[in-house]
Homo-oligomer: A and B are copies of this chain.
Amino acid sequence: MKVGIIGISGRMGAALSQATLKSDALVGGVSSVTTPEEWESVVKNSDVLADFSVPEAALRAAEMARKYKIPLVSGTTNFSENNFARFREYSRDIPLLHSSNFSVCVHLMAVLLKKCEKILQDFDFSITERHNRRKKDAPSGTALFLAKQIDKPAQTVSIRSGGICGDHVCDFIGENEMLTISHRAFNRDIFAAGALNCARWLRGKNPGFYSMNDYLKEKIDCPI
């Protein structure tokens, strides 16, 4: 799969280009200093575009993706409502997937928790998360996202300690047994890997606006 990266000089763009080089072909990337000819060249030679940039560049990428009928995966945030509506418009002509978080495992956990809740009705639910000591917010955004998936209250506790990258432990504890679903991030490359997997999936899809849930729903053959 030949990948063109929009926003290649950013932190996510850099991570993505490294991940691409390991498993796929990197066609090239564009940044704020790229010439129009180079833009054209990157887009038209790509099988899929991956965009982690700013709204203005994302819109330009979407426009060119439409011109050359190239699927587009985007993690760009901070769109104005208006700009996001415009961005979304391009999905009439090409497959376009947007997500603010590309960790597939975290989205998968959300699905699994919902399934568990339906069965483990007498069980208590808790989330223990551990992040590095420099992380300011607690609970983590991911813990809040996971807690929101289920109806019963989640006891959520947070540890901020050392350089640990990110652990989330979800426990369903009953009278006689417990079921645990937990996630451990080894490093921060997981978002790049997630975006690449979505890009791979998006090729060959019909034009339309997709989310991570569409990706998961189809893969696991299951309502979410």
- A: residues with CB less than 8 A from B are 103-105, 108-109, 111-112, 114-116, 118-120, 122-126, 128, 130, 133, 155, 157-165, 171, 173-187, 189-190, 193, 197, 216, 219-223
Contact = CB atoms under 8 A, between A and B. Distances in A.
A115 B222 contact: yes
A53 to B, nearest CB: 22
Given A108-B119, A222-B115, A163 B173 contact: yes
A42 to B, nearest CB: 26
A223 to B, nearest CB: 6
Contact of A115 (B112, B162, B197): B112
B155 A178 contact: no
A186 B160 contact: no
A178 B133 CA distance: 13
